[in-house]
Amino acid sequence: MRDFALEKFFSQWEFQAKYHMTASDAQSLSIGELLSLAGKTMEDLTNVHLSYTETWGAPSLRQAIANTYDNLNADNILCFAGAEEGVYTAMRVLLQKDDHAIVVVPNYQAAETLPIEICEVSGVALDADSNWRLDLDDIRKAIRSNTKLISVCFPNNPTGSIIPPDDYAELISICREHGIYLFSDEVYRLLELDESKRIDQAADVYEKALSLNVMSKAYGLPGLRIGWIASQDKDVLTKLEQYKHYLSICNSASSEYLAEVGLSVREQLLQKTLSLMTKNISMLDAFFDDYSELFEWQHPDGSCIAFPRFTGRGGVESFCKNLLEESGVLLLPASIYRSELMDAPTDRFRIGFGRANMEAGLLALRNYMEENRSALQA
Ligand SMILES: Cc1ncc(COP(=O)(O)O)c(C=O)c1O
């Protein structure tokens, strides 16, 4: 299989760089902090039996997850080891070599690479010049007689853009008209900067949708590795469950317990993430304001990542490389988001703002900018 560029880059740098300023998850909690937030004790955790669990996920966890949807029950939920196993399994099960898939670009690389490994894939651009708008005519034009699946991600990784609700409803009508599955990656949902931009969860409103979600992002619990796919289509879920027998088989019992604990205090976890994001984004506003000749900055609609443009001399790749080597500040340059399907932006970088290290990281970034400002000016 093709390399997963982002994970390969992270394998080298994520735990090496002094200032990880490009994380896509929110600030995590320790097990102790999570338990005490939920009024649980260490003893509660130590009583969890480390047996195999059900492949579908513990019934009580599936019910707690189903409660986060408007129209679904526990039997509409299949748990996975993180969202990533869900993406992999869904693509392997839904797509065969004679099928065709449509994927938005730019995107989280797995969304594009996994289908490409299986069948023909068309990319449809989110347009940088119109606030990352998805042109539904492009989707219509890309549809073929064998199009099996459209894969979207809103809030999008890396741009943070969200499709407007009317366009989303239209996208679902297009899928329905052609009998196409909609794979909707919703891992950044609930992190909208303006709540009125929040869109429905696809599985609530479309009978052939698969909604992907996880404890990693909005809830700040990536180390649990608990993700899930929600769908009204129980036949598809059953096929995914059977494929999972060849992967993780089942989730970790202690993680399932802690995910349920996390969901019992989901409002508190979300508020914690959102207030940190609000504080951090105002620091980013001040930074980008001070260096406005070198960056084009725009708030994402949602998520705790953004994709600003670097307009300085030498381009974004060397900016990110030099910054990392000289100051230990880790950002993700545009090349990580290269697409095989079409041109993707080449002058942007991903910055994260869901973690508690913003002040220290921005200080290091500011120091670097002060030392290099005139050299970077085009
Ligand atoms: C859009 C998107 N989908 C899926 C995933 C995978 O999530 P996890 O690492 O929790 O499996 C990520 C992780 O960064 C992501 O950004």
pLDDT tens for 302-320 read: 999 999 999 999 999 999 9
Name the segment(s) of the chain with CATH classification 3.90.1150.10.
5-30+267-371
pLDDT at residue 188 tops 80: yes
Q: Quick one: pLDDT at residue 12?
A: 87
Q: What is the distance between the terminal CA atoms of the chain, rounded to a whole angstrom?
A: 39
pTM of the model: 0.97
Ligand 1 contact via 82 beta carbon (within 6 Å): yes
Class of domain 50-264: alpha beta
Contacts of 288 (CB under 8 A, 6+ apart): 295, 297, 308
Ligand 1 contact via 185 beta carbon (within 6 Å): yes
CB 209 within 8 A of CB 202: yes
Given pLDDT bands bounded at 50, 70 and 90, which one contains residue 149?
A: very high
Could you read off the pLDDT of 1-26 as tens digits, one per residue? 999 988 999 888 888 899 999 999 99
Q: Quick one: pLDDT at residue 34?
A: 98
Rounded CA-CA distance 324/326 in Å is: 6
How far apart are the CA of 110 and the centre of ligand 1, in A? 9
Q: Quick one: pLDDT at residue 13?
A: 85
Ligand 1 contact via 216 beta carbon (within 6 Å): yes
Q: Considering Cα of 37, then 39, then 45, then 48, what sign does the dihedral take?
A: negative
Given pLDDT bands bounded at 50, 70 and 90, which one contains residue 116?
A: very high
Fold of 5-30+267-371: Aspartate Aminotransferase, domain 1 (3.90.1150)
pLDDT at residue 360 tops 80: yes
For residue 134, list its beta bridge partners.
Answer: 126
Average pLDDT over residues 33-46: 97
Q: Which atom of ligand 1 is nearest to the CA of 84?
A: 11
Average pLDDT over residues 168-173: 98
Average pLDDT along the chain: 97
How far apart are the CA of 370 and the centre of ligand 1, in A? 34
Indicate the burial class of 378 (C-beta count within 10 angstroms; 0-12, 13-18, 19 or more).
exposed
**Secondary structure (DSSP) of 74-107:** GGGEEEEEHHHHHHHHHHHHH--TT-EEEEEES-
Q: Is 348 helix (H, G, I), strand (E, B) or coil?
A: strand
Name the segment(s) of the chain with CATH classification 3.40.640.10.
50-264
Q: Quick one: pLDDT at residue 358?
A: 96
pLDDT at residue 378 tops 80: no
Q: Quick one: pLDDT at residue 14?
A: 83
Given pLDDT bands bounded at 50, 70 and 90, which one contains residue 97?
A: very high
Q: Which atom of ligand 1 is nearest to the CA of 215?
A: 10
Q: Locate tokens 């950044």: which residue?
A: 188
Quote the distance between the C-alpha of residue 69 and its chain's center.
18
Q: Quick one: pLDDT at residue 15?
A: 85
